[in-house]
Amino acid sequence: MDALFWCCLLFGALMALVTLIFGDGLGDAAGGLFSIDLHDVFQPVVLSGGITVFGGMGLLLHRYSELPGYGIYLLSVMGAALIGMGMYFVYVRPMRNSENSTGYSMNELTGMLAEVLTPVPATGFGEVLVKAGVGYSNHVAASFDKVDVPAGTKVVVVEVKEGTLYVSRMD
């Protein structure tokens, strides 16, 4: 019994150390292995914490309590699950929800407000500045209404076709 708990304690501590050093890369690799919706629960920090608590709690209960073997295993599993859930809800989940992404789809720009940087001629192309995601980006633009749109004009993106934003003046 002691050998199992010592192995779990040492393996969990080693896994925590490896997670600390190789954090994001290991988390992304492990996250890709799970196809269920709760894959964040299986993040290395949660797993290593649970395994370490299982080993440490099992050792302490075995040494300092009069519980039978199945009671020690049961309490150790319950303690590991409780600590693992705590780590998930206190650390992993808030960190996942706080991430900002700069990625966006061109189709998401439809309906967004923009400012003309390079004048958009009635039949040609110009350039607009659009707030997309957490930053701003420049895009090729054409006039949706087939009218000239001077620089500095506020416009709205009406549609996106083949990487070009078709814009119309804000009236």
Tokens of 33: 């292995």
Q: What number of other Cβ atoms are within 10 A of residue 19's Cβ? A: 20
CA 4, CA 76: separation in Å to the nearest integer? 12
- Residue bearing the bigger pLDDT, 134 or 170: 170
Tokens of 142: 């054409």
Q: What are the φ and ψ backbone dihedral angles of 104, each rounded to 5 degrees? A: -160, 165
The whole-number pLDDT of residue 136 equals 86
Render pLDDT for 41-87 as a digit per residue (tens, 0 to 9).
677 778 888 888 999 999 898 889 888 988 899 999 999 989 888 88
**Alpha helices, DSSP H, located in 65-161:** 69-87, 93-98
CA 129, CA 137: separation in Å to the nearest integer? 6
Identify how many contiguous H helices and E strands the chain contains and give both numbers.
4, 5
- Residue bearing the bigger pLDDT, 136 or 97: 136
- Residue bearing the bigger pLDDT, 170 or 21: 170
Tokens of 94: 């808030």
Question: Span 113-117, mean pLDDT?
Answer: 94
